[in-house]
A and B are shown apart, each in its own frame.
Chain A
Amino acid sequence: MALEERAVLVALAGQPNVGKSTLFNLLTGLSQHVGNWPGKTVERKEGVFVHDGMRYRLVDLPGTYSLTANSAEEVITREFIIREQPDVVVALVDAAILERSLYLVAELLPLPAPVVVALNMMDVAEQEGVHIEPQVLEAALGVPVVPTVATRNEGVNNLLASIEKVTRGDYPYHPTLPRIREDHGDVFQKVEAAIEGCVPDPYPQDWTALKLLEGDQEITKMMEACLPEDRLRRLHSILLEHDDALVAVASGRYEWIGRMTRAALTRPKTGAISLTGKLDRWATHPFWGLVIMAGILGLVFWLTYAVGAPLQEFLDTYVVGNLAALARMALTGTPSWLTDLVADGVIGGVGAMLTFLPILVIFFAVMGVLEDVGYLARAAYVMDRFMHLMGLHGKSFLPLFLGFGCNVPAVLGARVIESKRARLLTILLAPLVPCSARMTVIAFLAPAFFGSAAALVSWGMILLGLTVLALSGVLINKTIFHGERAAFIMELPIYHLPNWRTIGLRVWQRSLSFVRKAGTLILGVSVVVWALSTLPAGNIETSYLARLGQLLEPVGRLMGLDWRLTVALLASFIAKENSIATLGVLFGTAQGGSLAQQLAATFPASTALAFLTVQMLFIPCVATVAVIRQETKSWLWTLFDLGFLLIVSLSVSSAVYWAARLLGL
């Protein structure tokens, strides 16, 4: 088949923070498809582009530092290259951190696909005083090396030309391969001899031998299944005797890097303090770092409330309200249940989701900027010592913080955490962060019940929520995760100006994926709850939901709640604000006075406190549940979390109720 007739498959690989997304977006623009790698919660991006009459399919591989099976990202990257054998692998390296970023190249070269090295961030390197001769590096490596500045669209045409040359076979491709450190050369040969002829296709034999020496669990498992008994015993005894080989393999790669860069790289004189160093003196300072972070987070809050909340209200009243009215008009003449289903059930449900969007978009955008600039890693660093108390580390702080706006981005944001255990714990705890919708409910009810003490009560509620979060973290970590703690090792990238295109595309993709995935579940549940609140007679007072509330009243009684408050609590599952709307319906305006006045007249302070508490800690809204399911990929963990939150919220608010009664409230 002629090359022109099929798309050339190009894989984009690189360590984190080397500007992979920027290059990917530059090449594919909006013609990209974002999804997940099969069975993994790792984002898979693919796009097509045409250059010089040739069609290219570009697959963005996850950012990884190495290719040993420590995380899903590493396995995905190497399995893709070994199994799909792309026509070219573009290895993006950070010119400012040349040696360290060539480590991945050292891992990519032995794989069965030609590599083109893109020397990105040449501008940042020059700023840091690092000077590199690309031709000299190319001569040493034996593969094309193309200097680029993806943020300014520089060098991209040269990169494409190199890709084309390699795919056409016009480039004398003779890579210099790294070897294991000399003192382990014999061992390597012994391992190779032990597995010779038994390595399943398409895994390269020498690569497999290296991975065995590195103690790679996936490859060890693979070979255990393939080798005959006697050879397996031989292999095990070699590996057992040389269980220190991992460092020898890694050292071998760095020795190779040293040889490759010796002539090409001129380093700055030590002592010169870079801009990043100067900024970090403040941003990572144990005290000033916290002050700066508090300032930035305050700004995020302000943005959310000043821009997001009015937008949310606008969408709710004008867009959703008008849409519902429009639907009612369009459906005149059809049975009234159909009109109600569409206007209240479907549009109400979709509307609830739509109103999430402004807050989500703002949070995604702010997160995107902070991440792109390089600040996110600093915030994680500053918060690390506090997160330790819960068996988490610094990286969990930001996702949890996002929860104050909305629990949905908090759960989605947990993706930045590599450790599976820490990620799961962060997701499970996220619903305990008081989100803005819960705060709205508190903000409405606290003044209604407590008048001038409302601010104090609201603060108390937030404090209570966060205390329960911290205690739950300690508890879950100690019991289910046996007190294990994830290691905290994280690169602090060099600061640079944000790339708006990259951020914009990321916000767009994340919002779209939320609407697509969470949307279906939210819609389904909204319709079901709507049906429960209307059937059989068409009003909420005699509906199944009301009957359910009455049925559950004994449980509600524990917290001093009557059936109406219980129903309001159940209704909050769609969206937290629904509690107030439901109370509005249940109390009506028959007895006169506003809802606030009626509530204050009906319930004692003890009940009010208990209701606020349970609102604060209750199971999250359906949107959050949907993303918890999506991100954990497990109904079991999702249900565990819901059960846990149910028990915690009911017992804490019962305790609050009885304590308040004892105090005579």
Chain B
Amino acid sequence: MRAKSHRFWASSPGSNDSVVSLSALHAGEHGEVVELAGGRCMLSRMTALGFTPGADVRVVQNYGRGPLIARVRDARIALGRREAERVYVRKSSG
């Protein structure tokens, strides 16, 4: 299956430079999903698992390489690094 790339913005990204890949968050940091990139099949799975624009995601474990663990809508989800790089979040403080 050929993956077509889709990009979705919940709100205008504007010049907001606090938008980063989920893979860039350290353990304990969290943020709000603003954009998901990837093929339709992958997006469908990501949204079903709770990653939709506006959802709060907290990184539980991230050692800088390999897969990471994130908590979204009370569920713990393990993501490959490549998958996590395609989730863009607006980093929240605290």
A binds B: yes
Q: Which residue numbers of A lie inside 8 Å of B, CB to CB?
A: 65-66, 68, 70, 96-100, 103, 128, 130, 214-215, 243-244, 246-247, 250-251, 254, 267, 270, 276-277, 280, 284, 286, 377, 380-381, 384-385, 388, 393-394, 485, 487-494
A643 to chain B, nearest CB (A): 27
Q: Is B25 an interface residue (CB 8 A)?
A: no
Q: Which of A98, A246, A270, A489 has the most CB of B within 10 A?
A: A489
Q: Which of B6-55 contact A (CB under 8 A)?
A: 6-8, 10, 36, 38, 40-50, 52-55
Cross-chain contact of A489 among B6, B7, B77 (Cβ < 8 A): B77
Decide: A492 and B50 in contact? CB cutoff 8 A. Answer: no
Decide: B8 and A247 in contact? CB cutoff 8 A. Answer: yes
- Report the Cα distance A377→B61, complex, angstroms: 15
Cross-chain contact of A100 among B53, B74, B78, B82 (Cβ < 8 A): B74
Decide: A280 and B40 in contact? CB cutoff 8 A. Answer: no
Decide: A97 and B73 in contact? CB cutoff 8 A. Answer: yes
A99 with B74: in contact, given A247-B52, A381-B67 (CB under 8 Å)?
yes
Decide: B46 and A284 in contact? CB cutoff 8 A. Answer: no
Given contacts A247-B8, A384-B67, 8 further A-B contacts (CB under 8 A): A70-B45, A100-B49, A247-B36, A251-B53, A280-B61, A280-B69, A487-B45, A489-B80
- Which A residues touch B72, using CB under 8 A? 100
A265 to chain B, nearest CB (A): 10
- Report the Cα distance A433→B57, complex, angstroms: 39
Q: Which residue numbers of B lie inside 8 Å of A, CB to CB?
A: 4, 6-8, 10, 36, 38, 40-50, 52-55, 58, 60-61, 63, 65-67, 69, 72-80, 82-83
- Report the Cα distance A494→B69, complex, angstroms: 13
- Which B residues touch A492, using CB under 8 A? 69, 76-78
Decide: B79 and A488 in contact? CB cutoff 8 A. Answer: yes
A539 to chain B, nearest CB (A): 56
Name 25 interchain pairs, CB-CB below 8 A, sorted by A: A68-B44, A70-B44, A99-B50, A99-B74, A100-B74, A103-B48, A128-B74, A246-B40, A247-B36, A247-B43, A247-B52, A251-B10, A254-B50, A254-B52, A254-B55, A276-B76, A280-B60, A384-B66, A388-B80, A487-B45, A488-B79, A489-B79, A490-B78, A491-B76, A494-B76
Cross-chain contact of B54 among A251, A393, A488 (Cβ < 8 A): A251
A387 to chain B, nearest CB (A): 10
Going nearest first, the 4 A-B pairs with the smallest beta carbon separation are A488-B80, A250-B47, A66-B48, A65-B48
Decide: B67 and A247 in contact? CB cutoff 8 A. Answer: no
- Which A residues touch B4, using CB under 8 A? 243
A155 to chain B, nearest CB (A): 21
Closest to B66 in A: A385
Cross-chain contact of B78 among A97, A270, A381 (Cβ < 8 A): A381
Chain B contact surface mostly: mixed
- Report the Cα distance A485→B44, complex, angstroms: 17
- Which B residues touch A270, using CB under 8 A? 58
Decide: B49 and A491 in contact? CB cutoff 8 A. Answer: yes
A130 with B67: in contact, given A100-B50, A247-B43 (CB under 8 Å)?
no
Decide: B80 and A491 in contact? CB cutoff 8 A. Answer: no
Decide: B46 and A489 in contact? CB cutoff 8 A. Answer: yes
Decide: A286 and B76 in contact? CB cutoff 8 A. Answer: no
- Report the Cα distance A280→B44, complex, angstroms: 27
Closest to A492 in B: B76
- Which B residues touch A385, using CB under 8 A? 65-67
- Report the Cα distance A489→B83, complex, angstroms: 8
- Which A residues touch B47, using CB under 8 A? 66, 246-247, 250-251
- Which B residues touch A247, using CB under 8 A? 6, 8, 36, 43, 47, 52-53
- Report the Cα distance A214→B79, complex, angstroms: 23
Cross-chain contact of A393 among B65, B73, B80 (Cβ < 8 A): B80
Cross-chain contact of A250 among B38, B52, B67, B78 (Cβ < 8 A): B52
- Report the Cα distance A295→B60, complex, angstroms: 24
Decide: B48 and A130 in contact? CB cutoff 8 A. Answer: no
Decide: A244 and B50 in contact? CB cutoff 8 A. Answer: no
- Which B residues touch A215, using CB under 8 A? 40, 44
- Which A residues touch B79, using CB under 8 A? 488-489
A181 to chain B, nearest CB (A): 9
Decide: A97 and B65 in contact? CB cutoff 8 A. Answer: no
- Report the Cα distance A381→B62, complex, angstroms: 12
Closest to B30 in A: A270
Decide: B77 and A490 in contact? CB cutoff 8 A. Answer: yes
Decide: B42 and A491 in contact? CB cutoff 8 A. Answer: no
- Which B residues touch A65, using CB under 8 A? 45, 48-49
- Which B residues touch A490, using CB under 8 A? 77-78
A487 with B80: in contact, given A215-B40, A385-B67 (CB under 8 Å)?
yes
Cross-chain contact of B83 among A128, A488, A493 (Cβ < 8 A): A488
Closest to A257 in B: B73
B92 to chain A, nearest CB (A): 11
Cross-chain contact of A488 among B43, B67, B73 (Cβ < 8 A): B67
- Which A residues touch B50, using CB under 8 A? 99-100, 103, 254
- Report the Cα distance A70→B48, complex, angstroms: 11
A103 to chain B, nearest CB (A): 6
Decide: A246 and B77 in contact? CB cutoff 8 A. Answer: no
- Report the Cα distance A96→B73, complex, angstroms: 10
Decide: A487 and B43 in contact? CB cutoff 8 A. Answer: no
Decide: B49 and A394 in contact? CB cutoff 8 A. Answer: no
- Report the Cα distance A257→B52, complex, angstroms: 13
Closest to A393 in B: B80
Decide: B63 and A286 in contact? CB cutoff 8 A. Answer: yes
Decide: B6 and A97 in contact? CB cutoff 8 A. Answer: no
A41 to chain B, nearest CB (A): 19
Decide: B73 and A100 in contact? CB cutoff 8 A. Answer: yes
- Report the Cα distance A244→B10, complex, angstroms: 11
- Report the Cα distance A626→B63, complex, angstroms: 42
- Which A residues touch B69, using CB under 8 A? 280, 284, 381, 492
A655 to chain B, nearest CB (A): 34
A221 to chain B, nearest CB (A): 14
- Which B residues touch A128, using CB under 8 A? 74
A343 to chain B, nearest CB (A): 53
B28 to chain A, nearest CB (A): 10
- Report the Cα distance A525→B3, complex, angstroms: 43
- Which A residues touch B8, using CB under 8 A? 244, 247
